[in-house]
Structure 1
């Protein structure tokens, strides 16, 4: 994997993934979608489309899951009433947007040739994104990194702790995935800024 780059002529953001890398990225995005959708508040049935547009029956308390709490932090920690109102009006839409961004990664990888069941050794997946699609991927990479960091307990300036783990430690391998998603995010940001 060489990361993302901007094609000089077309202006598209491109990358080539091995089959393993593409499958890993799809798996991460799928897990994020599952978390966002499974723990979402059950939507209420609204018959009137205008009423549905103004349905603000979302959650009012911080999610129990630490990843969701990190993805949807309390907006007003010193004002529980304002925090509840803000969450009620925004969280469902934010969940939907984050899930759709992760689905865009899955769809793009599969459209580029990643099989939905098994793949053969040596498979390479070429991804070409418009700048707008690349921004969606970039936002989803942020969500994936926050989810991984929360699950792994990664904190600022704790690189030495992770570097001291043996290579065969599953936590070290998971941290490598976190770093890899960070690399993808960094290269996509660089490609978009050119």
Structure 2
């Protein structure tokens, strides 16, 4: 069935995508790559050990999308509650954790987005421009992570904080300028849900 992942023998998943769907997913994955930014290797010295032990940023990113993709480890609704010294301590822990983990997290998200782009680029479109995407189990798990990242990014731009916000999106009028982004958000959610179901069978 078009737009719905189905299981493959051996544990993978397959989905039929038309030309427009392929273009949308690829474009979103490229935009995600650009948002995450280049990896440490882009400006790292020739010594691979120096890159391995390179420290990342200690402050949260300013972009709301990147804040959603790379949240504080000790954040959450109660992060600023309690005595000031406890809030300060949590901020210090978050800063230290971010410094040693964000580079790796960014590298992982870049690789996940690249997996999506490469698998789409490897498709052989039919006469109508569509194709059947077949993924191994490992690729399916990468796609699942990528779909989640894309939905987090779009949801952040749409200021989706909870299920109630999602319900409101369904009722937006067609003339609302957010409508195309909303349709992509909901469609990716359906793809993600079908892939989760497929991998659980």
Q: TM-score range by the shorter chain?
A: 0.7 to 0.9
Distance 2:176 2:44 in 1: 47
CA positional deviation for 1:83: 1.2
Distance 1:69 1:167, change over 3 A: same
SS at match of 1:89: helix
CA RMSD of aligned residues (A): 2.1
Please show how residues 6-155 of structure 1 align to structure 2 within 5 Å. Answer: 6-7=7-8, 9-37=9-37, 45-55=44-54, 57-77=55-75, 78=87, 79-113=90-124, 122-155=128-161
Distance 1:159 1:66, change over 3 A: closer
> For structure 1, which runs of at least 5 residues remain unmatched after alignment?
115-119
SS at match of 2:3: coil
Q: Which runs of 4+ in 1 moved over 4 A?
A: 40-44
> For structure 2, which runs of at least 5 residues remain unmatched after alignment?
76-86
CA positional deviation for 1:85: 1.2
- 2:178 aligned with 1:178: no
Q: Contact 2:155–2:185 (CA<8 Å) still a contact in 1? A: yes
Q: Contact 2:32–2:113 (CA<8 Å) still a contact in 1? A: yes
- 2:165 aligned with 1:166: no
Corresponding position of 2:84: none
Distance 2:52 2:5 in 1: 37
Q: Would you say how many aligned residue pairs link Structure 1 and Structure 2?
A: 186
Q: Contact 1:19–1:121 (CA<8 Å) still a contact in 2? A: no
Distance 1:43 1:59 in 2: 16
TM superposition score normalised by structure 2: 0.84
CA positional deviation for 1:51: 3.4
SS at match of 1:127: strand
